[in-house]
Amino acid sequence: MPSLLDRPSEPTLRFLRTVATGYEAAHGRWPCWQWVSQQLWDQHLDAEEILLGMPTWQYNYRPVRLGHGRQIPKINDPVPLSVHGMINTVGPAAHPIQQLIRAFLAALPGAFLAQQDMKAQPTKAVELKLDGQELTQAINSQQGTSVRSEQLFDALHAEPATWHGVYQRGQEGREWTWDLTDARLAPYAAVRSPEDYLAALEHLVAIPQWPAHPAPLPPMALPDAFDHLDLAWRLATGDKHLFRVPRAAVPAKLTQPAASVEDFESRCSALADLLKSFNFPTQGGSLNNMKTRLSELLGQDAAGRAHAAVDTLRWVFAVRAGQQHHGADADAERAKTALGLTQYGSDWAAAWDHLRAVVVQALTTIREEISPLTD
């Protein structure tokens, strides 16, 4: 998985800068999806494609904040950036987003010092709460910024480092409180720069490295995982077969080892073909349709683990696209990092074994999530 400190891809940077331009034009309000999409279309860029290709860390942390379980915003939805996304907009110091970053970064060590100065009692916890408007005024005075109270609330409330304890008292975030009584801010006490913050945040949201698999999977492990999911899906939904196998040679290739780069690419092609054979309407792509169906079956709020497994399968397409098209190289490299393939270099046999194990785990996760419905 990419580090929070890695430079985003050029299309992602242009997406983030477009949002920043809209934020400034709207006087500190996040632009809507329709406007962002149109601006990027004028630059010959597909906003949906860029958004879907952005990395996602733990707690669904991304450069762009989306509603829980949502992949693409509706046309009138605002497109807010996380602090990670804001940091990568690279605007001038006077830009509203750069001022908001400065205010956010100043709030972290300031809140930690308030915790340090608190007069604790030996037998009972003492409450420590900061008034949002007073905090914003103090930071503006100290930093020379002009951030509004609701803007600082929005940033603090949305970050995994600070979202516990930040709650709204009035409308639109103008009246809010930051409850520091049980907030864990020590990791951010020394934050003085955007890089400091991202390095500290990475310990909280970074996705652990893929574990080494103790033994290679049996040759039939991948076809069996597809079959087991197909059976569970039919029992849980009453639908027809989940897969329509295009050619008998496709699943057969998944049982074979990979001794060369040509073998690895052939296996990835067969895997992508099988993943494209989900028995859903073709509109929107088979994996997008699967996420929609999972939301219907499990409920939007309970489908997160299954959705994450589908996202893992989506990376396979990016790897395959990079093998076929030069223009998809950057996405393919991100996909290899996300899937844990970069650690194998040119050891194609180990890379294929690892990819099989990752896909088997993703298919198994989806099956586990829908299995209670088979009762």
pLDDT in tens, 25-74: 999 999 999 999 999 999 999 999 899 888 888 777 899 998 655 678 89
CB atoms within 10 A of CB 145: 21
Does 188 have pLDDT greater than 50? yes
Rounded distance between C-alpha atoms, residue 356 and residue 58, angstroms: 23
Residue 214: pLDDT band (50, 70, 90) is: low
DSSP 214: S
Quick one: DSSP state of residue 216? P
Same domain? For 251 and 169 the reply is: no
* pLDDT (0 to 100) of residue 284: 45
Same domain assignment for residues 160 and 62: no
Does one domain contain both 339 and 247? yes
Choosing from 177, 205, 233, the residue where a domain stops is 205
Q: Are residues 193 and 335 in the same domain?
A: no
Weakest mean pLDDT among 66-80, 210-224, 350-364: 210-224
Distance, CA of 264 to CA of 261 (rounded, Å): 5
Helix 304-324 with 261-275: angle, nearest 10 deg = 130
Residues 228 and 367 in one domain: yes
Whether residue 289 lies inside any domain: the answer is yes
Across the chain, mean pLDDT equals 86
Q: Report yes or no on 210 lying in a domain.
A: no
CB distance 90 to 39 below 8 Å: no
Instruction: State the residue range of the domain holding 126.
Output: 96-205
Q: Are residues 117 and 77 in the same domain?
A: no
Residues forming a β-bridge with 130: 178
The reply to whether 238 falls in a domain is yes
Q: Kindly tell me if the per-residue pLDDT of 191 is higher than 70.
A: yes
267 and 201, same structural domain? no
Measured between alpha carbons, how far is 321 from 263 in angstroms, rounded to an integer? 16
- 307 in the same domain as 190: no
Q: Is-contact 4 54, C-beta < 8 A? A: no
In this structure, is residue 36 part of a structural domain? yes
Domain boundary, last residue among 147, 170, 205: 205
**Contact criterion met (CB below 8 Å) for 186 and 165:** no
pLDDT tier for residue 302 given thresholds of 50, 70 and 90: confident
Q: Region 121-136: what's the mean pLDDT?
A: 90
Same domain, 242 and 325: yes
- Given a cut of 70, whether residue 155 has pLDDT beyond it is yes
**Same-domain status, 123 and 147:** yes
Indicate whether 344 belongs to any domain: yes
Report d(CA 370, CA 153) in Å as an integer.
38
Q: What is the DSSP string of 81-139?
A: BPHHHHHTT---TTSHHHHHHHHHHHHHHHHHHHHHH----SSSPPP-EEEHHHHHHHH
Neighbours of 264 (CB within 10 A): 23
Contact between 116 and 185 (Cβ < 8 Å): no
Q: Is residue 216, in this structure, part of any structural domain at all?
A: no
Domains contained in the chain, number = 3
> Is there a single domain that holds both residue 364 and residue 251?
yes
| pLDDT surpassing 70 at residue 369 | yes
Q: Name residues whose C-beta falls within 8 Å of residue 205's C-beta, 6 or more positions apart in sequence.
A: 4, 57, 58, 59, 61, 160
Within this chain, do residues 135 and 158 fall inside the same structural domain, yes or no?
A: yes
Residue 156's contacts (CB-CB under 8 Å, 6 or more residues apart) are 104, 107, 162, 163, 166, 178
| DSSP secondary structure letters along 130-188 | EEHHHHHHHHHHHHT----HHHHHHHHHHSTTT-TTEEESSGGGSSEEEE-TT---GGG
- In a domain, residue 1? The reply is no
Query: Among the three residues 87, 115, 148, which one is the final residue of a domain in this structure?
Result: 87
**Is 11 in contact with 50 (CB distance < 8 Å)?**
yes
Fill in the amino acid letter for 374: T
